[in-house]
Amino acid sequence: MFRWTIFFALGAALFGAPQTYTIDAAHATAQFSVRHLMVSNVKGTFSKFSGTAVWDGANLAAAKLEGSIDVASVNTNQAKRDDHLRSADFFDVGKYPAMTFRSTRFHKAGSQLKMTGQLTIKGVTKEVTFDVDGPTDEIKGPGGTYRRGASATATINRKDFGLTYNALMETGGAVVGDEVKILLEVELVRK
């Protein structure tokens, strides 16, 4: 019995076993970018978010990610615009204080890792697929914590999530573009 216990422990160490991680928000970012006046991109971040991940590089079916963003923490470096984004015209943070993501599967498309899941914004849930760079190999960080990192990108149509506010310019173009690029940079700490 003792030999089998050692064998399984050694096998898990050598071949990987699902590990659970939390997002280290101090070393992570949740960013977005959207066209403005059809000539430039406005970028913003959310400063308050949390999440957990389960990773087993040998078994993508066991991989999971769940995260939540406090939408009121939006920051585009313009207080007036941020207040407008918090209003009912956009995120309506009084009614919908968080946006969430829950993965449903990880899969490979050639050499690219993909993460598909349910994204909920303003009470509307849609399937979204992110391109994932990583996760990195696990390292032992300061204080003896085990960490790994990953980046994920996706593009969504904001109107699919009920973010339909817009104004037209006198030339006919929209003030705010429909496509929103999402970039997540996460550092994960093993529980």
Amino acid (1-letter code) at residue 48 = K
pLDDT of 126 higher than 50:
yes
8 A C-beta contact, residue 103 and residue 115: yes
Residues with Cβ within 8 Å of 31's Cβ and at least 6 positions away in sequence, in order, are 43, 44, 45, 182, 183, 184, 185
CATH no. of 18-190: 2.40.128.110
The C-alpha atoms of residue 37 and residue 108 are separated, in whole angstroms, by 37
CB 22 within 8 A of CB 169: no
Q: Helix and strand tally (H, E) in the chain?
A: 2, 12
Asked whether residue 2 carries a pLDDT value surpassing 50, the answer given is no
pLDDT tens track for 44-92: 999 999 999 999 988 999 999 999 999 999 999 999 999 999 999 999 9
Q: In which band, very low, low, confident or very high, does the pLDDT at 3 lie, cut at 50, 70 and 90?
A: very low
The DSSP annotation for 159-180 comes to GGGT-----B-TTS-BSEEEEE
- Span 113-142, mean pLDDT? 96
The pLDDT score that the predictor gives to residue 39 is 63
Cα 161 to Cα 136: distance, rounded to the nearest angstrom: 32
Residue 164's pLDDT is 86
Q: Which of 49, 28, 68, 50 is nearest to 151 (CA)?
A: 28
